[in-house]
Amino acid sequence: MKTIYLFDVDGTLTPARKQMERGFRNFFSKFCKEFPVYFVTGSDRPKLDEQLPIEIRNAAEGIFTCAGTEFWRKSELVDQRHHEFDKELISTLERIIDLSPYKGRYGKHFEFRTGMVNVSIPGRNIPQEGREAYYHWDRAYGERQAIIKSLARFFPEYTVAAGGQISVDVCPKGWTKAQVLTRLKTWHPDCRFVFFGDKMGADGNDRPLADVIWADSSDNQAISVEDPQQTQTMLESIYRAGHAEQLLELCA
């Protein structure tokens, strides 16, 4: 059975909001030439372009950005979905930002993407050291989890999930990464799907796609990773096993 590989980007293939590391980049370029690959990211296209080199982007079968509300083939936008967000939701998010006890603020607390609003208490203009500081503070005090639970209670028509290290993603119900599986099954019937992501916890933005992949078939896999180094180690094993299988077929 043919396998289709799906990858989150931020934290799975690259360090948070950074470029893919050179050693992994060289290996992954070979992997994409051997196996069918799709990227499924919550980020928009400009951020993806900053993180993944062009040879890898072009080697992929396709790219889903903004949690699947945009689909790209190489540099061409094939289609996208649009949504106008509830004004009361936006007002509530503004109050949440104002009331947060976290002191380090860097500006650009909202980022509207296709079908999604990304909300960050410290702000998306944050430098890397500030990003790390907020991430560890949030792990200790659970601010993002509290925001997720509150918004889920008062705005049940939206799905809310932790995104990356410093933000929360809000999208219409059903407009999560899970939406990509229906399209992929149409394009690749009778295939199995293996998804790698680093946010597969209960409130992570990779969890919706993991859930539908698990429910769809026992042949599918959703693999939770801690960082790009773990992803690389696993893919190297898959790559070696794939070549060993091809060699056995040639010798048969």
Active-site residue numbers? Answer: 8, 10
Q: Work out whether the CA dihedral 228, 234, 240, 244 comes out positive or negative.
A: negative
Contact (CB, 8 A) for 29 and 20: no
Exposure string of 108-128, with b = 16+ CB inside 10 Å and e = fewer, is: ebebebbbbbbbbbbbbebee
The token pair that represents 64 in the structure block = 């889903």
Contact (CB, 8 A) for 89 and 155: yes
How far is residue 199's CA from residue 208's CA, in Å, rounded to a whole number?
Answer: 10
Contact (CB, 8 A) for 54 and 158: no
How far is residue 194's CA from residue 38's CA, in Å, rounded to a whole number?
Answer: 10
How far is residue 7's CA from residue 188's CA, in Å, rounded to a whole number?
Answer: 16
Quickly count: other Cβ atoms within 10 Å of residue 229's Cβ: 13
How far is residue 191's CA from residue 189's CA, in Å, rounded to a whole number?
Answer: 5
Query: Which of 117, 77, 114 has the alpha carbon at shortest distance from 97?
Result: 117
How far is residue 111's CA from residue 120's CA, in Å, rounded to a whole number?
Answer: 9
